[in-house]
Amino acid sequence: MTTLPGETGAGNVPAGHPDDGGPSAVHVRGLVKTYSGVRAVNGIDLDIRRGEIFALLGPNGAGKTTTVEILEGYRTRDSGEVAVLGYDPRPVDEVIGLVGLEEKRNSRVNKLSGGQQRRLDVAIALAGNPELLFLDEPTTGFDPSARREAWEVIKDLAALGKTVLLTTHYMDEAQYLADRVAVISAGRIVAEGDPATLGNRELARARIRYRVPDGAAPPPGLAGPTAADGFTEFSPGDVTVALHQLTGWALDHQISLDGLEVSRPTLEDVYLALTGADDGALTGADDSASKGGTA
């Protein structure tokens, strides 16, 4: 987890971007980062409002961690404009330089003199009372109970007015936590919006799924392919009419429709359609071996 201070900034305010009192916590335009001739981040635009939980989703190698580390100041960008809390992120080395500890960059705290430790206190103070938090895969390896507890902590932080930029491979995590999400694929943002409406989820046809007892045939006109588990699934034009017809038929014939359910495409369905790949059960490492620490 990385935190950035809300009261003290370092760096220069990019011309034309909101200052520290502006509405955006993160403002990005045309962000580009290239490794060995390959664009890991290829012209990203982002705006993250203050006080919201924003999830950045994408398959391994899509550019998520590179983007986050540029915003944190851990990596330099090749081009583009970035404002984090109104400031262009300054690398940690520059913060250390501000307090005159360049020569002690790799020293342990207990090896510093009293005066040097006071300088370190000043540097650490830059991370106090965070207004913006970067959470890079915060619940990877957690059991279900620990994940739920972590989710509530994150919700509580947002309730206090903190801004959270979250990366995760867990679609249920993004669905539960995020006010808005963006999907990155091959270094580009391919979709952005509310989790409930991303990729026009709310407009997609609903799916009706049910199973009839052994020996019974699904009703004419209300059947689709039958899977190996015996469930029939179809997508009607009018879900209300189809449900009325299906349940009426079942009552007339005294048939139990086991496991009857109505659903629309999940966030995971939309994610897989947007990225065009099965992301390895949606868990695992990202595009960089380096993960964020505390700034």
Q: Read off the pLDDT of residues 140-154 as tens digits, 9 standing for 90 and up.
A: 888 888 889 889 988
pLDDT tens profile 83-137: 998 888 776 677 677 777 778 877 888 888 877 776 776 666 554 567 898 888 8
The answer to whether 270 and 203 have CB atoms below 8 angstroms apart is no
At 45 the pLDDT is 95
At 215 the pLDDT is 74
Q: Is 293 among the domain residues?
A: no
Indicate whether 129 and 167 sit together in one domain.
Answer: yes
Indicate whether 107 and 242 sit together in one domain.
Answer: no
Q: Is 292 among the domain residues?
A: no
> Residue 65 is part of which domain span?
2-201+269-282
Is the pLDDT assigned to residue 11 strictly greater than 60? no
Indicate whether 190 and 216 sit together in one domain.
Answer: no
Closest CA to 269 of 189, 180, 216, 207: 207
Which residue's structure tokens are 């391994």? 60
Closest CA to 141 of 170, 114, 113: 170
Other beta carbons less than 10 A from residue 148's beta carbon: 12
Indicate whether 172 and 159 sit together in one domain.
Answer: yes
Q: Is 287 among the domain residues?
A: no
Indicate whether 193 and 217 sit together in one domain.
Answer: no
Indicate whether 176 and 66 sit together in one domain.
Answer: yes
Indicate whether 110 and 34 sit together in one domain.
Answer: yes
3 state SS for 69-136: HHHHCCCCCCEEEEEECCECCCCHHHHHHHCCCHHHCCCCHHHCCHHHHHHHHHHHHCCCCEEEEEEE
Indicate whether 275 and 140 sit together in one domain.
Answer: yes
Indicate whether 189 and 220 sit together in one domain.
Answer: no
Other beta carbons less than 10 A from residue 40's beta carbon: 22
Least confident of 1-15, 41-55, 166-180: 1-15
Which residue's structure tokens are 């961690």? 65
- Looking at the chain, the whole-number percentage of residues with pLDDT higher than 90 is 25
Q: Is 288 among the domain residues?
A: no
Q: Is 294 among the domain residues?
A: no
Three-state DSSP state, 176: helix
Indicate whether 185 and 209 sit together in one domain.
Answer: no
* Strands 53-57 and 180-185, sheet pairing: parallel
- DSSP 8-class letter at 286: -
Which residue's structure tokens are 């086991």? 258
Task: List the structure tokens of 240.
Answer: 């209300």
Indicate whether 211 and 78 sit together in one domain.
Answer: no
Q: Is 55 among the domain residues?
A: yes
Number of domains in the chain: 2
Q: Is 290 among the domain residues?
A: no
User: What CATH number did the domain enclosing 32 receive?
Assistant: 3.40.50.300
Q: Is 295 among the domain residues?
A: no
| DSSP string covering 144-164 | HHHHHHHHHHHHHHHHTT-EE
